[in-house]
């Protein structure tokens, strides 16, 4: 597989917040990109959001109208799993091992032996997923950060069975996207999410203990140099996504108390208050 825009076909599975951002940056670079999701409504909203992102880029002077059209011309969408045939597949679905394993098994059935499958998991060890697959050497972690079309960092994570050639190709692909690419060995949460857990968890503990409200905590963190406070960031990421990542890391580290999920987050997930995507989380949105 040669990493050349125009000759490499990419498929992104999952058209939620992360998937749409990954698809956008792939298409902007010139890769023929398929964006897949089971839900036609989610796919439609994802394409609309990509168009909005590009229009905002024009308003800010970062891209022009030709680049916007170029990007849209390089994205197609589908709700049929049989269409997900590509050289490189990037998964961005729910953070649950069983769901990911079933998806990857289905994708192995309809793709060639050369196809590389990458997971955007934030926390599940790559080796744990690859153990269930028939071609573990072609499986790797490719962890983007939200919003994927803006954030420069990508963690590439190798499992115990990942081929060196798979790693080389994915690192090269990530750099083609203009990303700062960090190579990491397999571990729950990898590097960034393992460190970042306490940015969220300690903030939630302060809120739970009524030391300060969430607006004050965000204000203090943003005025100490962080671009976004923890509660604004959780709303952007999705409170459910953030909670499932924490729960996953907690379980994979054998219930180490320092990674204990927050009861506040659990309650909000149960109540459907998931942040920007539902219109209400710690803050309210139009």
| Cβ proximity of 231 and 282 under 8 Å | yes
Distance between CA atoms of 247 and 242, rounded to whole angstroms? Answer: 9
**Which candidate, 192, 20, 16, 11, places its Cα nearest to that of 95?**
16
| Cβ proximity of 151 and 144 under 8 Å | yes
Q: How far apart are the first and last CA of the chain?
A: 44
Query: Within 13 Å of residue 274, how many CA atoms lie on the same side as its CB?
Result: 12
**Which candidate, 35, 6, 50, 16, places its Cα nearest to that of 278?**
16
For residues 105-122, one letter each, b for 16 or more C-beta atoms within 10 angstroms of the residue's C-beta and e for the rest, the string is eebbeebeeebbbbbbbb
| Helix residue ranges per DSSP H, the chain | 17-29, 40-59, 65-73, 97-110, 126-130, 164-176, 192-208, 214-222, 230-237, 239-252, 263-270
Tokens linked to 164: 């060196």
Tokens linked to 45: 């909203």
The catalytic residue positions are 122, 143, 155, 193
């Amino acid at each position: 597989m040669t990493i050349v825009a125009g000759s490499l076909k990419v498929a992104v599975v999952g058209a939620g917040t992360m998937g749409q951002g990954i698809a956008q940056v792939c298409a902007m670079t010139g890769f023929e990109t398929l964006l897949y999701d089971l839900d036609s409504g989610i796919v439609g909203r994802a394409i609309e959001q990509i168009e909005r992102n590009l229009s905002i880029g024009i308003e800010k002077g970062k891209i022009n109208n030709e680049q916007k059209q170029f990007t849209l011309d390089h994205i197609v969408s589908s709700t049929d799993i049989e269409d997900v045939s590509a050289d490189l597949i990037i998964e961005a679905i729910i953070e649950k091992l069983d769901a990911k394993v079933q998806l990857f098994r289905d994708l192995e059935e309809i793709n060639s032996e050369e196809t590389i499958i990458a997971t955007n998991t934030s926390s599940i060890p790559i080796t744990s997923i690859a153990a269930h697959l028939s071609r573990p050497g072609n499986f790797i972690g490719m962890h983007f950060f939200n919003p994927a079309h803006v954030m420069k960092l990508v963690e590439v994570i190798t499992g115990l069975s990942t081929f060196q050639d798979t790693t080389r190709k994915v690192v090269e692909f990530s750099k083609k996207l203009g990303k700062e690419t960090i190579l990491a060995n397999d571990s729950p949460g990898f590097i960034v999410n393992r460190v970042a857990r306490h940015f969220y968890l300690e903030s939630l503990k302060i809120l739970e203990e009524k030391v300060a409200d969430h607006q004050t905590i965000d204000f203090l963190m943003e005025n100490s140099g962080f671009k976004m406070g923890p509660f604004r960031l959780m709303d952007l990421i999705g409170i459910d996504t953030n909670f499932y990542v924490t729960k996953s890391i907690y379980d994979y580290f054998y219930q180490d108390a320092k990674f204990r999920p927050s009861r506040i987050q659990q309650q909000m997930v149960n109540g459907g208050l998931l942040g920007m995507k539902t219109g209400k989380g710690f803050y309210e949105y139009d």
